[in-house]
Amino acid sequence: MARVVLAENIRKNYFLGKVVVPALRGLSIEIEQGEFIGIMGPSGSGKSTLLNLIGMLDTPTSGSIQINNQKVSAMNENERADFRLSHLGFVFQFFNLFLELSAIENAMLPMMLRGIAHGRCRERAKEVLELVGLAKRMHHKPSELSGGEQQRVAIARSLINRPPLILADEPTGNLDTLTSLEIMEILKQLNREHCQTIVLVTHEPDLGRRADRIICLRDGEIEN
């Protein structure tokens, strides 16, 4: 299997005035293509910080990160933005859809940002919305969709550019149990049927157990 993520000895410090607060303390991980990784740990263990660094939303204080064999930790801001657009998909806890856009417009947005023709974006958005079971709701605005449906749109949006890696930060944190299981099933299905690499941050053991491999963090270090 090809390696999708290689993080070596990454450290992340935050500063509270002059006080240094270490969030990650020299952590190394490797993720291969097609893996479904669950990152778990108590609050403040560094789960989201790790996801932000892999997702290139933040830069490590030291250490290096490679995604698809490209050293992303050395990239400048514009290069990171371009890389995120073409190589990464994000699913957030609060869905974070654009309220003024319909489901299909939300889903097609990352593809439009790449400058691809509107018609092709729309066709691909229909495909991914069908994949997440939302074909009949594609013209509805987020305010007309349930929480589960909104999260499905967010998953469709993360898939539209066929990224090698999807990062999901507590994607079920705002949903009821039944809907959470549905969302997890969609992610699992994508991983199983499309060999989609997924990194999922969760603090719910029931959901974490559905991952192929669990990385447990505590105080900025890998526990197991």
Partner 1 sequence: MNLRTLFFLAIKDLTKDVKVLALVVMAVGSGAMAIIPLSGLMLGFSNYLSETTIDVSSGHVILSPEKDEKLIKKADLIKRAIENISGVQGVSIRLVDSTSAITKKENRSVLLNAIDAASESQTTTLHEKIIKGRFLDSSRKNCIIIGSELSEDLKVEVGDSIAIQFSNAQKMRFKISGIYSTGFHEIDNGIYMNLPEYQRRMNVVNRASQIIVRLKNPKLAEVLAERLREWQIQAKVETWKDRLRFVEGLQQNYRFIQRIVIFLSIASAGLATGVLIYTNIQHKIRSIGILKAIGTRNCRVLQLYILEGLLIGISGASVGNAAGSLICSYISTHPLQIRTSLSSNLVTAEFSLSLLILPTLIAISVTLAGSLYPAWRAARTNIIKAIWHG
Q: Which residues pair with 39 in a beta bridge?
A: 201, 215
Query: Which residues 6+ apart lie within 8 Å of 220 measured at CB?
Result: 12, 22, 23, 24, 25, 27, 45, 46, 49
Q: In the set 92, 127, 189, 218, which binds partner 1 (CB under 8 A)?
A: 92
Regarding 202 and contact with partner 1 (CB under 8 A), the answer is no
The length of the chain in residues reads 224
Asked if 82 is part of the footprint of partner 1 (rule: CB under 8 A), the reply reads: yes
Q: Taking contact as CB under 8 A, which single stretch among the options 112-120, 174-182, 184-192, 195-203 is the one that binds partner 1?
A: 112-120
Q: Say if residue 21 is exposed, middle or buried (CB neighbours under 10 Å; 0-12, 13-18, 19+).
A: exposed
Among 19, 78, 119, 224, indicate the residue that binds partner 1 (CB under 8 A). Answer: 78
Beta strands 221-222 and 213-218: pairing type?
Answer: antiparallel
Applying CB under 8 A, what is the total number of residues that bind partner 1?
Answer: 31
- CA-to-CA distance for 77 and 71, rounded, in angstroms? 14
Cα atoms found within 13 Å of the Cα of residue 160, Cβ hemisphere only:
31
Q: Which is nearer to partner 1, 154 or 187 (CB)?
A: 154
Strands (E), 111-176: 165-169
User: DSSP label at 164?
Assistant: S
Q: Which stretch binds partner 1 (CB under 8 A): 97-105, 128-136, 179-187, 208-216?
A: 97-105
Kindly compute the dihedral angle of the four CA atoms of residues 122, 123, 125, 128, in this order, to the nearest 10 degrees: 180
Q: Is 77 in the site for partner 1 (CB under 8 A)?
A: yes
Taking CB under 8 A as the rule, does residue 86 contact partner 1? yes
Contact between 99 and partner 1 (CB under 8 A)?
A: yes
**Least Cβ distance, residue 95 to partner 1 (angstroms):** 10
Q: Which of residues 139-168 bind partner 1 (CB under 8 A)?
A: 157
Give all strands of the β-sheet with 19-32 in edge-to-edge order.
Answer: 19-32, 3-16, 62-67, 70-71
Q: Does 48 bind partner 1 (CB under 8 A)?
A: yes
- Single out the residue of 15, 17, 18, 115 in contact with partner 1 (rule: CB under 8 A): 115
Under rule CB under 8 A, residue 8 binds partner 1: no
Q: Which residues bind partner 1 (CB under 8 A)?
A: 48, 52, 55, 57-58, 77-78, 81-86, 88, 90, 92, 94, 96, 98-101, 105, 109-110, 112-115, 118, 157
